[in-house]
Chain A
Amino acid sequence: MNKTFGTAARWLLVLPYIGLLWPPFYNSREPALFGFPFFYWYQLLWVPITAVLIWIAYRSVRDGE
């Protein structure tokens, strides 16, 4: 894995901030999912998404500290 990929992967970590720090975007009841209003399941969905994004960044970091 080259350095460019590593840097690009780290930029992925900005996405959760964009996705979560703009509440007007997700402050609605519809579309609901399994009875959960959008506001709730959208934010819960960011938990696995963020874990995956950090994992990609983690994979791009070489073994050295």
Chain B
Amino acid sequence: MGSDINVTALSVFIFFFVLVTIMGFIAARWRKPETLAHIDEWGLGGRSFGTWITWFLVGGDFYTAYTVIAVPALVYTVGAYGFFALPYTIIVYPFVFMVMPVLWKRAKEFGYVTAADVVHGQYGSRGLELAVAVTGVIATMPYIALQLVGMTAVLKALGLHGELPLAIAFIVLALYTYSAGLRAPALIAFVKDIMIYIVVIAAVALIPSKLGGYANVFNATDAAFQAKGSGSLLLGPHQYVAYATLALGSALAAFMYPHTLTGIFASNSGRTIRKNAVLLPAYTLLLGLLALLGYMGHAAGLKLDSANDVVPVLFKTLFSGWFSGFAFAAIAIGALVPAAVMSIGAANLFTRNFWKAYVDPAVSPAGEAKVAKITSLIVKVGALLVILFLPTQFALDLQLLGGIWILQTLPALVFGLYTGWFRAPGLLTGWFVGFFGGTYLVWDAGWKPLHAVTIGGASFTVYTGLLALAANIVVAVIVNLLAPARSARKAPMSYRW
């Protein structure tokens, strides 16, 4: 990879970066809140976001820079198997449509800001609340770190090496998030998504014409896979169950993360969320096309140090300086939006479910906002330190565990929306088994998210997160049956369409 700096590319990149920085600071004044010194305003944008803003915000924090870099990289390396991200980001929307408006309503009625608030309100258990909150925070940290991995890949392609550019980008991000809260990423998401759309449409329209059409892209990839003896255009029969369970498990986990839930809680109605379930699949089309950039890397005959470089190097090789600068800016800004929302989500959890619960129960809304603002800075510094001082592989492994961990909060968060049958001891035991059992299985498999299961002589490879979730639910049901009910809990309010 050339370490020479393309002045045009770098200038375009810096122009857009400065533009969104200014927008980030202006965002504090956007949609004029009476005060930002309230956690509802700072951390949820006043729960006022309509269909369009929610679309950009949720799209912007769900489809991250890491998606743009890592999904094509995985597809580049293993082929069809890496494509599971596509069914995953399709089947997530029926789930969002059915469950999230109910969750939003519960949060709105009681002023809940986080998943752990919802759980505490439902079961009155500090232990279960803490389990959900801690899981949220530790699953988010490596996710933020991976946004930095995406940004590093882009900076590297621009010829900017070393840690200073990354640190500058992050300090800028930290400052405007601090001052404007969720309004900053919501406003920047408009620019980011429009840029990404332009980049992807240009790429999928122009690159194949430079590489001899899609048929040629697929044929060249097939030849490349056969030459290196690994990867394939189709799934092997032993990959069927892994492919399907990865897609399903990831879809169930996706909206348990603090950042995606923040986007949901920030919308102004259940109807807005349902409408978004109709509109958000537009991004999935984008993701599927982006994934194919991995194959275009083969067709272009790229030689890479790391699969994560496939998209940046592809742009650098095939496009002029100004357009690759534009594309890199889109990807880097695409890292800032989710990183900002993730740090806000984690900060909300810390403030509501640790600070308010254990340190200062009488904290005022303004005090909450202050604690959340400071926590958001600490979270980002933590993620920066992870990426600077720990090997990238470690962040990748942690992220993989993060998905399995966050999935274990689903029973506590979702079941209570529909039934009053479950009680805290069962759910907490189930969470414990799923969380630690899942971690053990991943460790046991040599940090792979898949586990071989033998049923009646036939062996299947299954996504560990889904196995852990199954164990979690089974244990929760058993403990709930065995544990004596302290008192009959009132049924949850009826949920209506």
Contact = CB atoms under 8 A, between A and B. Distances in A.
Interface residues of A, number: 38
Most buried by B among A23, A24, A64: A23
A16 B244 CA distance: 12
A39 to B, nearest CB: 6
Interface stretch (B280-288, B334-342, B439-447, B474-482): B280-288
Contacts of B91: 16-17, 20-21, 50
Given A13-B98, A35-B218, A58-B275, A47 B235 contact: no
A34 B93 CA distance: 27
A65 B270 contact: yes
A58 B98 contact: no
B167 interface: no
Interface in B278-311: 278-279, 281-282, 284-285, 288, 292
Given A54-B281, A65-B271, 15 more contacts: A13-B97, A13-B98, A16-B90, A21-B91, A21-B244, A22-B244, A24-B237, A35-B218, A37-B233, A43-B86, A46-B90, A47-B281, A47-B285, A51-B93, A55-B278
A48 B321 CA distance: 34
A9 B320 CA distance: 49
Interface string A11-29: 0011011001111100111
Interface in B188-230: 213-218
A65 B281 CA distance: 22
B94 interface: yes
B235 A27 contact: yes
B437 interface: no
Of all A-B residue pairs in the complex, the 6 with the closest CB atoms, nearest first, are A35-B215, A35-B214, A13-B94, A20-B87, A65-B270, A51-B281
Contacts of B244: 20-23
Contacts, number: 115
23 contacts: A16-B90, A20-B90, A21-B91, A23-B244, A37-B234, A39-B80, A40-B83, A43-B83, A43-B288, A46-B87, A47-B284, A47-B285, A47-B288, A50-B91, A50-B93, A51-B281, A51-B282, A53-B94, A54-B93, A54-B97, A54-B277, A64-B496, A65-B270
Interface string B229-265: 0000111010110011001100000000000000000
Nearest to B277: A54
Contacts of A39: 80, 83, 233-235
Contact of B247 (A20, A50, A58, A63): A20
Nearest to B295: A40
Contacts of A61: 271, 274, 497
Nearest to B216: A35
Contacts of B271: 61, 63, 65
B214 A36 contact: yes
Contact of A62 (B215, B218, B497): B497
Contact of B278 (A14, A58, A62): A58
B147 to A, nearest CB: 25
Interface of A: 6, 10, 13-14, 16-17, 20-24, 27-29, 32, 34-37, 39-40, 43-44, 46-48, 50-51, 53-55, 57-58, 61-65
B277 A58 contact: yes
A34 to B, nearest CB: 6
Contacts of A57: 97
B277 A65 contact: no
B247 to A, nearest CB: 7
Contact of B281 (A24, A48, A63, A64): A48
Contacts of A6: 497
B403 interface: no
A39 B9 CA distance: 36
A46 B235 CA distance: 18
Given A44-B288, A54-B93, A27 B234 contact: yes
Contacts of A40: 83, 288, 292
Contacts of A23: 235, 239-240, 243-244
Contacts of B87: 20-21, 43, 46
A13 B292 CA distance: 27
Contacts of A14: 94
B210 to A, nearest CB: 14
B101 interface: yes
Nearest to B217: A35
Interface in B58-90: 80, 83, 86-87, 90
Nearest to B233: A37
Contacts of B237: 24
Nearest to A50: B90
A47 B243 contact: no
Contacts of B277: 54, 58
A46 B247 CA distance: 14
Contact of A54 (B94, B101, B285): B94
